[in-house]
Structure 1
Amino acid sequence: MLIFSFFGGLFLLIVGGELLTRSAVRLAEGLRLSPLLISLTVVAFGTSAPELATSVDAVLLGSPDIAIANVVGSTLINSLVILGIAALIRRLPVEPSMLTRDASWMVAGTLLLLLLVWDGWLERTSGALLFLLLVGYIAMAYRAGSNRRRIVDHAVGPGRVPATGGFGHDLDLLVAKLGWILASCVFAVGLGLLVLGGIIFVEAAIDIAGMFGASETVIGLTIVAGGTSAPELVTSAIAAYRGRTDVAIGNVLGSNIYNMLGVTGIVGLVAPASIDPDIATLDLPATVVATVLVVLVMASGRQVSRIEGAILLSAYALFLWLHLT
């Protein structure tokens, strides 16, 4: 029964994340946002929702180590495993704004979280600061994306439906309206599945940790983090396969920013808690190193090659070997 609950919760997380991501992209496209901006904001929020659901549920159940370890582990998996797999599928070109803006925020957010929890506590004031920084990042990214979109529209003309009137025009408007309604419903269903899956998944993971004598930190860094990162893996792998390399990289960068600023910020606001010393002194510094490694790889030749993708995967294997031995 416990194994059934574990994999059942994981299945709900994956399905919910997929529904939320696809519907979020449909809604964002209706707002005429660029693919990169969509991946950095809406898609990243959708794929990071499992981390948020499981971390909040874990801290409410009295397991803050799972909550924070989930964030750290998910960020490591995003940076090293998911980006590595996407690069193995297809070489990933890097836009300049990814380095100067998004990658910088990712590294800065990770460093700030390390400083805030170095004393072993995640306070409400720290959570509020992290969450406010996330709001600032979203506003900045949206403004930059909107300005870029206006430049494109000015050059090629906005893609609006011509106001010609008649039955055909009215039908186009009706279909577009129904599309928005359907996307909103799917978004709500996906969010509900994520919350439900997160509750089932975390409760099962806590029970498994107790049965095998594993620490909550190890379970959070590996099993829980791997499960909640499944939507990011699916999204980035499919995007790379289809040639949407900007979405593949943007999803990873955006998800890491949401994890560090959004998920930990909300966790701190909901229930301030003590942090396992190993997370503050070992795992978070390792995450800082991983994010810096990603930036260096992205900056070298303005791309992530297949060889570099293999290097990232090897770095994660090394982290697991050092942590579990």
Structure 2
Amino acid sequence: MDILTIILLIIGFVLLIKGADMFVDGASDLATKLKIPAMIIGLTIVAFGTSAPEAAVSVTSALNHSNAIAISNIVGSNIFNLLVVVGITAIIYKIDIDDVSLKQDFPVLLISSILLLLFIVTSSQISRIEGIIFLIGIIAYVALLIVKSKKESKNMPVGTTHLSNIMIVLFIIVGLAFILIGSDLVVDASKDIALSLGMSETLVGLTIVSIGTSLPELMTSVTAAYNKNTGIAIGNAVGSCIFNILFIVGLTTTITPIATTNVMVIDTIIMILALIITYILAYDKKDFNRKDGIILVSLFIVYMIYIIIRN
């Protein structure tokens, strides 16, 4: 471990924090300017933007014909989003969940997750046809959100924004760039530090790298929660999970079919259980409170212990 690695780690965290702040400010003002609910902005622009690291890893693997990592990357990221991103966000500030999200977005994620599990267990690979089915799913889902936003925008009052149109675009682009560069620096520096402390490459890949690709979602949702933009916070977490399965797995398997393994089955089942637990916690109260957040984060710690023992 050298001083340069530590400096790069600090720079990475600074870029993550500043980038998330700019990204949320830009997205929030965009929602106000367009009279679109913050939840929809979170489910689309913010969710798709913060999923860029997962997309880059999976698509690059597919192009190199070594894309078995795509599923573990996506499933691990979704487990992190559901348990840690939602959990830590709820610990910081209570997240109110509207009926539409409970009746539409969570079910879409559950159906997508179950479909992924079925594709894994019923064949030795996830085929191109199945990948295309996922891509059709994400197109239909985004189209549904666009139609929904047009209907809701008619009834929304015009709010006040703090940024001009040009600054909104700059804040979103620069903020996302800072998030992606920062997360890359943090992952690389953390890997070097962990390896120098004696951790195996396999364990580093399953923990630091999988968590690292989800840092954009975590920092964006935490920043949104701190600024009381809970619609963006929960929309980012749920939207990223949907995007990960329907678009990233869809695109990756359309490029090259993915061979399935027993480990994929186990991890996908764990992902579905994490989703069901998250949904149950929100359903009755229509929110995630601090107690729920602690439960979710605790479950992730248990999952990490299981991963370490398994490997």
User: For the superposition of Structure 1 and Structure 2, which TM-score range results when normalised by the shorter chain?
Assistant: 0.7 to 0.9
TM-superposed deviation, 1:75: 0.4
CA gap of 1:160–1:298, structure 2 versus 1, over 3 A, is closer
TM-score (norm 1): 0.78
Amino acid in the other structure paired with 1:278? V
Match of 2:212 among 214, 224, 227: 227
CA gap of 1:89–1:189, structure 2 versus 1, over 3 A, is closer
Instruction: Work out the number of aligned pairs and report it.
Output: 302
TM-superposed deviation, 1:214: 4.2
Cα deviations by residue, 1:230-262 (Å, 9 ceiling, x for unpaired): 111111112222222222212111111111111
Q: Which residue of 2 aligns with 1:301?
A: 285
Matches of 1:145 and 1:64, distance apart in 2: 35
Contact preservation (8 Å) 1:107, 1:288: yes
CA gap of 1:290–1:22, structure 2 versus 1, over 3 A, is same
CA gap of 1:146–1:113, structure 2 versus 1, over 3 A, is same
Amino acid in the other structure paired with 2:271? T
Q: Which residue of 2 aligns with 1:247?
A: 232
Match of 1:108 among 92, 108, 111: 111
Cα deviations by residue, 1:13-54 (Å, 9 ceiling, x for unpaired): 947973666545554544331111111111111111221122
Q: Secondary structure at the match of 2:51?
A: helix
Q: Which residue of 2 aligns with 1:67?
A: 70
Q: Which runs of 5+ in 1 are unaligned?
A: 162-174
Match of 2:126 among 110, 122, 125: 122
TM-superposed deviation, 1:272: 2.5
TM-score (norm 2): 0.81
Q: In the TM superposition, what are the counterparts of 1:182-197 in structure 2 within 5 Å?
A: 182-184=167-169, 187=172
Q: Which residue of 1 aligns with 2:152?
A: 148
Cα deviations by residue, 1:190-242 (Å, 9 ceiling, x for unpaired): 66677778888999999999x96544xx5554222211111111111122222
CA gap of 1:293–1:159, structure 2 versus 1, over 3 A, is closer
TM-superposed deviation, 1:89: 1.1
> RMSD across aligned C-alpha pairs, in angstroms?
3.6
Matches of 1:312 and 1:224, distance apart in 2: 20
Cα deviations by residue, 1:72-122 (Å, 9 ceiling, x for unpaired): 111001100111111111222221111000111111111111112223422
Matches of 1:241 and 1:190, distance apart in 2: 17
Contact preservation (8 Å) 1:70, 1:220: no
Match of 1:137 among 134, 141, 145: 141
Matches of 2:173 and 2:225, distance apart in 1: 27
Contact preservation (8 Å) 1:116, 1:126: yes
Matches of 2:59 and 2:241, distance apart in 1: 17
CA gap of 1:12–1:60, structure 2 versus 1, over 3 A, is farther
TM-superposed deviation, 1:4: 4.9
Cα deviations by residue, 1:41-68 (Å, 9 ceiling, x for unpaired): 1111111122112222233344423322
Match of 2:86 among 78, 83, 86: 83
Q: Which runs of 5+ in 2 are unaligned?
A: none
CA gap of 1:9–1:60, structure 2 versus 1, over 3 A, is farther
CA gap of 1:287–1:151, structure 2 versus 1, over 3 A, is same
Contact preservation (8 Å) 2:127, 2:253: yes
1:47 aligns with 2:50: yes
TM-superposed deviation, 1:300: 2.6
Match of 1:272 among 253, 257, 260: 257
Matches of 1:106 and 1:9, distance apart in 2: 34
- Which has the larger displacement, 125-134 or 185-194? 185-194
CA gap of 1:206–1:304, structure 2 versus 1, over 3 A, is closer
Matches of 1:23 and 1:90, distance apart in 2: 20
Contact preservation (8 Å) 1:72, 1:284: yes
Q: Secondary structure at the match of 2:155?
A: helix
